Structure 1
């Protein structure tokens, strides 16, 4: 007897009745399966490094990187630099996310606001971080302000675009139904429009979390006295590839953790949505 399974497609799920025959996997099995390829890559990497196929000066073995992480953690260096980077990312995310959401909401509801704001925002969004970095240094120096500004700048655009798109994509029939039910403008916004736009907004949050770290890496390459970027640059000066690889691994783990947090937020806030919920 065959059973059906459900597959994620573009952040959603195919109903069981529409899925092709296969084996139903539990949530724990799917999580374990998602880590299969990274674990296999680590095993192959370790084997190649141990048997001399990879020069340790170019790419040290995972065991060497883990030992370096332990030593830096015991000394307190890693935890200090990690906490500094996390604080910069959190403050920049809060500022940029708030600005992006506010502008996206304004443009989403008002064609006049779109005419006044959107073109300028899109022009700024097209400027690469490295191009604007010299100007930001002239404005803010190389202190914390410069780093937080770059993170906020990178975070604001994904949330702005997805907030605007989410509001514009709410089904007009739902709005009309709300008016028929006697809802005023405030109730339409809070009970229909914003909940309908929430999947798109949370997608913007997921994109912006990744962009926040990208912007922070760029920001911490200039004048930083602490942080993961500073740790990597300092290690480069002494050819400590194990420390450099460690910072890259930490960035990857933070990215996975941030995305998992965003997915958890989706499940909690979108329990009413058929494509989300506890079963996802």
Structure 2
């Protein structure tokens, strides 16, 4: 039954509408299927492969293995003499000789101890002074110019002065490492704290946080990634300053092994010291990276 002014509905028009709806649905399904087919399968993109833990180790070993192969070829095809570039087997034999004599472990232990002590003290000082300068305009005006000038002094320039003041001993070496570790932490912490979200700080102050409690509860957690970037740079600097100290005034350590091997014409031991510095430096950096991941999950 139809009413005046109402369009009449026929079976043909209903069928037409149903056919149009079915066609639109089929077109949407086809378009969705095509998009799904063209998209890469989950987990197979290059970024996904790189992010997998099982793929990172093989990828990271490609360049070291290639360098080792190039070293072997260059040392055996006449490009260099054995004195200039001994093959990897000779370096490995030199390592075995030092291990049998009990010297390699002593060199590594002494150098690692110096680096860890100097790094920890320098990092703490850098964190404290960096936080002071980053949070106080007065401290920034007083300290930043002087620290910036001292930061430009090369590491070797400190050695004669430290030897004059502290003699040839552990104190002078550790102090030089402290100087090297201090500046990266100071720089990153002071700059990061200046850019902490002001709204976050004001909200914390509204809840009664201030002073050291505000720093440790809100401000430092907000700059955790920047702090660890500074710490990793400081660790690398600590190893650099260690070699500078041991090259000039030392009787043990990897830096001493470097200069002693040079003086005695033992290129195999010299290369061994370089390789050990690279390996141990990477191991300590990886351990600090694990601490960074834990800290980011905990506070950031």
2:48 aligned residue = 24
Candidates 195, 202, 206, aligned match of 1:176 = 202
Per-residue deviation at 1:119?
1.3
1:266 aligned residue = 292
Candidates 96, 100, 116, aligned match of 2:122 = 96
Per-residue deviation at 1:31?
2.0
CA RMSD in angstroms, aligned pairs only? 2.0
Q: In the superposition, relative to structure 1, how do residues 23 and 150 fare at CA in structure 2: closer, same or farther (>3 Å)?
A: closer
For structure 2, which runs of at least 5 residues remain unmatched after alignment?
Answer: 1-38
Superposed counterparts of 1:66-215, under 5 Å: 66-180=92-206, 182-185=207-210, 187-215=213-241
Q: Decide whether the 8 Å contact of 2:221 with 2:299 is kept in 1.
A: no
Candidates 48, 65, 69, aligned match of 2:91 = 65
- Using the alignment, how far apart are the partners of 1:113 and 1:41 within structure 2? 48
- Using the alignment, how far apart are the partners of 1:86 and 1:77 within structure 2? 14
Per-residue deviation at 1:82?
1.1
**Per-residue CA distance 1:158-217 (angstroms, 9 max, x = gap):** 01111111211211122233345x242155323321101211111010001110011011
Per-residue deviation at 1:132?
2.4
- Using the alignment, how far apart are the partners of 2:199 and 2:65 within structure 1? 48
**Per-residue CA distance 1:95-137 (angstroms, 9 max, x = gap):** 2112111111111121111122111111111111122222222
2:24 aligned residue = none
**Rg (Cα) greater in structure:** 2
Q: TM-score, normalised by structure 1?
A: 0.86
- Greater helix share, 1 or 2? 2
* Runs of 4+ with >3 A deviation: 3-6
For structure 1, which runs of at least 5 residues remain unmatched after alignment?
Answer: 7-20, 275-280
Kindly tell me the number of residue pairs found equivalent between the two proteins.
259
